Homo-oligomer: A and B are copies of this chain.
Amino acid sequence: MTEKNQQILLARRPAGAVEEGNFRLVEAEVPQPAEGQFLVRNLFLSLDPYMRGRMSEAKSYAKPAEVGQVMVGGAVGEVVASRHPKFKPGDKVEGPFGWQLYALSDGKGVRKIEERGIPLSAYLGVLGMPGVTAYIGLLDIGQPKAGETLVVSAASGAVGGVVGQIAKIQGCRAVGIAGGADKCRFAVEELGYDACVDYKAGRLDEDLPRAVPGGVDVYFDNVGGEITDSVLLRMNAFSRIPLCGLISEYGRPEPRGLKNVRSLLVNRIKLQGFIVSDHLQRWPAALADLARWVAEGKIKYRETVAEGLRNAPTAFIGMLSGKNLGKQVVKLS
C-alpha cells in the first residue's frame, strides 16, 4: 500500500471557543493489522457536540482525548485488511475509528452494517448514535403520552430532528426551538413539527408561549442556558426533562447555568441527565424501530456534508455554533 494515512490530532486544549489551532493535520504510514485486528478505510466521519467535552480536561463521563493523539470520533468505513475472525475485507462497519483515513480496530464498539439501500452516512446519524440518543432520551426518560406536548431544543439537529419525529409518531404535539428561520421552516415543512420557534429572533419568552398554549410535558434539552430557562417557565406539573446536552455551555470559560430552578420544584419535574452509551441493551430495539420508521418514510433526515478530512475542524467549529442543518458528517473519499 503506497497511500499515506492522514490524521487530525488534538494539538492543544481549547481555552474557550474551539479554534482551528486546536487541531493539527499529520501524515503517517498506513498501519498493518496484528493478529485479532483489522484495518478500516474510513468513508464518513461523524462530528458530534460531545466531542467538545472530550477536548477538555474536566471530569466527564468519558476520559478526555489526549493532546497529540488522534481526535476521537465515530466513522463508517470499509474493512480493507483483516486478521480478525469476524471481519473480512469488504465489510462495511461503523465504530470509534477517529479523525483519520485509516484506523486499526480489535472490533470493540464496532457494528457491521447490513446494507439495505440506506446511505452509509445514515449509520452515523438517524441509524447511529444520534438516532438512538433521541429514541432512548425521548421514550425511556421523557415517557411521552399521546396528546402531550414535547419541546426539543436544537430541533433540526442530528438528535433533535429525530426526537420531534418520534414524538409525532407517539401522537404528541411536537414543538421545536432552533436558530434561524431556515432551520425552523425545515423543522415544520420537512420534519413535520407542529411549530418551531426561532430563538435567534430574540423573542423566545413571547414566541414560545404561543407555540405551547397548553404548556410543556416533555422538554428534550440539548442546549441548556437561556433557552432552557425560558422553557422552564412553561413546564407543566409532573413534566419530564431528558437532559441530553448543554451546547450553550461548552464554549464558556465559566458556566452560565440555569436561573429558573424553582420550576423544577413547583412543577415536580423529573430531570435526568443521560448518555446513550449507558443503555447498550436498548440499542437493538431502538435501531430496529428507527430503521423501520426510515423505511416507511415516517422519519426523514438531512445531512450537512463537509468534503475531505482537512475540512473537519472547520465543519466541527461551524457545528458548535449551529451552522449545520441536520447531521454533520465529513466525506473522506
Q: Give A residues with C-beta under 8 Å from B.
A: 53, 59-61, 224, 229, 237, 243-246, 249, 254-262, 264-275, 278
Contacts and interface: CB of A to CB of B under 8 A. Distances in A.
Contacts of A59: 266
Number of copies of this chain that the complex holds: 2
A265 B273 contact: yes
A99 to B, nearest CB: 23
B61 A266 contact: yes
B257 A261 contact: yes
Contacts of A273: 264-270
Contacts of A265: 243-246, 273
Given A237-B61, A271-B271, A255 B266 contact: no
A262 B272 contact: no
A267 B267 CA distance: 23
A224 B278 contact: no
B268 A270 contact: no
A93 B270 CA distance: 34
Contacts of A260: 255, 257
A301 B171 CA distance: 50
